[in-house]
Structures are given as C-alpha cells and as structure tokens.
Structure 1
C-alpha cells in the first residue's frame, strides 16, 4: 500500500492553484470537472511528477471550515512539505510576498518554517539538519 493522494482544504480552487503552482512551484497534474463548479484538482512536485498528488479540495463541508479555523487559530500547520534548504525557501517565498507565521527555526534534527497558503491553511516547510 502506498499513499497516492493527500488533501488540503482550500476556500477557492482557482486561487489555490495559482498559489501552489506559481508561488510554491508545484505543477498541475489532474483537473477533472465535477459538474458542481469544482474539480478533482491535484498538483505534484516537479521533482516527482509521478509521486504523491496534493488534492486542492474545496472546503465546502461545514466541519472542514470549523477544523481549519480552529487549527489556524492555534497556529498548527495542516500539512508539511520537505525542502532542501528552509532558509533559502523562506527568502524566496517572502520575496514573492508569502506571509510566514514562523520564520526558519531549528528544532533539534529539523529546521522548520510555517507559511500561510492564502487559502485558509498554515503549511510547514521542513528540512532535515
């Protein structure tokens, strides 16, 4: 068994697609219209185009909105992306206007930073030290 799709709930799929591709650098893999104004919309890492897909899933269900609000209020990232150099990504992304709730911080064997994805989520970047 392998993980092939993970979801992140977003408040607007078009806005999320722009952020995750144009800012973070993922590439669109799948865009299948579902007939309700939404799509099965996934992105992947350009370094692993056949790897795990990230589903940009609409946060239409009331529970998803409550969950997102609660974990953001507590400063908890929804998911984590591995990077080679957290400090370099932090500099690149802040240069593009991305807001971070936590700058690069050494936490034992890892360095992390937490960004706001503009779609209602905090995302953690992580580098093994």
Structure 2
C-alpha cells in the first residue's frame, strides 16, 4: 500500500496553483472541470522529482466543515501538510526571498529540522528535512 493522493483545502484554486507551482516548485498534473456554479476543478500537483508519485489535490474549501477545519488548524498553528526537502535552511532562504511568509523559522528537533510557511490559501505548510539516524549498536 502507498499514498496515491492527499489534499489541502484552498480558498482559491487559481491562487493555490500559482503558489504551489510558481513558488514551491510543484508541477500541475491534472486539471479537470467539475462543472457547477463555482467553476471548480479536480486540480492536482506533483513533485517534479516524482511525477508519477503521490498527488496533492488543491481542493476547494466550499464545504462549511472544510472552512472551519482549515481555520482551526491555522489558528492553532498546525500545518495542514508536510513536504520533505533536502535542506530546510536553504529552502527557507529561497522562499523568503520570494516573499513567502513563515509562521515558524527553521527549528531543529533532533532527527528532523522543520519550518512552517503560509501557503496564501488558508493553510500552514511544514517543510521538513530528515537527518540520517546513526546505526543501531
């Protein structure tokens, strides 16, 4: 079993697509019109390093429960998703230079270093660098 698809609720799919592709560096995989009055789409992005890997659905937050859930997570400082990076500090610097707002600067937590950014679409997103574990004795 493996993860095929996960999602984040977004308040604007066009803005989310621009941020996740133009700023974070993902690439658009699928864009299928869903019809209806909102003009929503099945809109996914993937890592350019794993184009056939897990997809991230940029899902409209139209359902009241989705909005409440997203707002509660953000208010409590809880990331909606976590993305692995090779170097958190380098990615933090790159993204800050692009104007990305961070809720938390890089923080060393033993086996992982993390930072938390605002995706401009209602979510906090964690970036994480995992450190090699020493071999067991």
Give the TM-score band, short-chain normalised: over 0.9
Name the SS of the counterpart of 1:87 in structure 2: helix
Partner of residue 2, structure 1:
2
Name the SS of the counterpart of 2:91 in structure 1: helix
Partner of residue 106, structure 1:
108
Of the two, which has the highest radius of gyration? Answer: 2
Name the SS of the counterpart of 1:101 in structure 2: strand
Partner of residue 57, structure 1:
59
The answer as to 2:77 corresponding to 1:44 is no
Name the SS of the counterpart of 1:91 in structure 2: helix
In the alignment, structure 1 segments of 5+ residues that lack a partner are none
Deviation readout 1:36-79 (Å, 9 max, x if unpaired): 20100000000000000000000000001111111111101011
In the alignment, structure 2 segments of 5+ residues that lack a partner are 132-137
Among 65, 82, 85, the alignment partner of 2:84 is: 82
Aligned structure 1 segments of 4 or more residues deviating by more than 3 angstroms: none
Q: TM-score, normalised by structure 2?
A: 0.93
Q: CA RMSD in A?
A: 0.6
What is the CA-CA distance between 1:106 and the residue it aligns to? 0.1
Name the SS of the counterpart of 2:72 in structure 1: helix
Partner of residue 30, structure 2:
30
What is the CA-CA distance between 1:2 and the residue it aligns to? 2.0
Q: Distance in 2 between matches of 1:4 and 1:71?
A: 23
Name the SS of the counterpart of 2:35 in structure 1: coil
Q: TM-score, normalised by structure 1?
A: 0.98
